[in-house]
Amino acid sequence: PLEVRRDGLPVPVPSGRGLVFPCTFDADRERVYWDRAVSLDLTRHGTIILDFACDDPGALRSPTLYFKSGNGWYVARIPMRGTGRRRVAFAKTDFSTEEKPTGWHRIERVRLSAWKADGRNARLTLYDLRADDSRIAVVRNTLSSPSEAERRYGTRVSTRVARLLSDAGIPHGVLTDEEVIHGGLMKSRVAILTHHPHPPAREIESLKLFVRRGGKLIVFYGAEPALAELMGVRLGQYQKADAPGRWSSFTFLKPSFWKVPERVYQESSNIMPASPGRRSTHVIAYWEDSHGRRAEEPAWLASDNGLWMTHVLLDDDAANKRDMLTGLLASLDPAVWTYAAQNALERAGQIDSFRNFGDAHRRLSAAAESAPQKGRVLKLLEQADLEYQRMQASYSEGRHEEVVQGGRAVKEALVEAYARAQRGQPGEFRGVWEHNGTGWFPGDWDRTCRVLADHGINAVFPTTRVANLVDL
């Protein structure tokens, strides 16, 4: 059991397989917390697993997990969704810092903490808290670009990819180039190089060793011939879009095989072209322009050693990119489906402020009574309920891929039901922001406006592009 510090609460006692932490509040106690002194080196452990339950999540405000290191702390907020037992996987990038922690190599104390919400008491039950070696490693560009500005950009891209994995419920660690060089991938199954134009020779050697022992790579925006050779691709010459809309999306040739969305939208202004470099390498997705016409340039390639994308992942179309990463990672490590299925079941129904599926179904059913399209809303809720029951059956039978697919169907039905349950007001203002200043179909603003008007949009905020000073 964790030690009790300051607040005088009793030491939690075993209850079944877990430890019960009584969160008892009164006028003088706004916060409860428990500490345990430890001596841990978590440098190579990329994922923190918390397995817990709470009988009344609404009674707790800001439940938090802390790791003390030197004169500071690593801090992660614990998501509370429903009363059932749930398993949360934190990547190190999910932790913020308080004061100045020394590093993950010197963890001296673990703390579990919660603040009072509305005066009710609750019980936290902790089943497991452990650090795992990461099957999936997101590698951050700390050496793979010549300039500090590029490396900072690489950090933003790796954070974006890590966030998408977290949203999908896929445990992962985050490593630097230096950690890869010093053996940080020894226990990983898949390494994701999120923005690594020119990895140093020492890192290439570590990646070769990783691949030789069965590891797989996903490489974004590679420009290093040695890395391209390892991945079985042939590099082309860097290309920049001559006008907006040249590379606006990419489409997979066999989406059902890869278990990914057929089309993913991304407005890329430049790419690092690549083509198959050996017979076992093949193109699995091509770029498209803003009119949906396939471009000559491949977007994704697959080889014996993993996957290659000719640009980085940008932040548009995030939901489809999350689903795409899930399918592609699962093709390299099938265990990904297990984590994604659990996440899909736990998050089913969590749109807007709805806590879970039951909450969403109940509140949308009530909203349907005054909805302009009551019958359609109720039909969508019936469809969502059927899909949710299928999800539960699939999960109990271990058909995890079907659970993930069912979660997407549940969300689609609930989102449409939510939208159709709204009552519009006469003369309502409905606007969209158009980032490129060109419309969705460059050179044809009339077509963009027709599509928007057909869907009830009556205002547009276009942003004009300014020339890149580097090009002047």
Cα angle 423-425-428, degrees, rounded to a multiple of 5: 125
Query: What's the pLDDT score for residue 16?
Result: 58
Q: Is the pLDDT of residue 15 over 60?
A: no
pLDDT at 191: 97
Q: How far is C-alpha 123 from the geometric centre of its chain's CA atoms?
A: 29
pLDDT score recorded for residue 93: 72
Which amino acid, one-letter code, is at 424? Answer: G
- Is residue 169 scored above 70 in pLDDT? yes
Q: Are strands 136-140 and 173-176 parallel, antiparallel or unpaired?
A: parallel
Rounded to the nearest 10 degrees, what angle do helices 318-332 and 148-167 cross at?
80
Task: Over range 220-244, report the average pLDDT.
Answer: 94
What pLDDT is stored for residue 468 in this prediction?
45
Average pLDDT score over the chain: 89
Of the two residues 281 and 79, the one the predictor is more confident about is 281
Average pLDDT over residues 337-343: 91
Whole-prediction pTM: 0.78
pLDDT in tens, 411-449: 999 999 999 998 888 888 989 988 777 787 777 889 999
Q: Has residue 460 got a pLDDT over 70? A: yes
Instruction: Report pLDDT for 467.
Output: 45
Give 140 or 45, the one with higher predicted confidence: 140
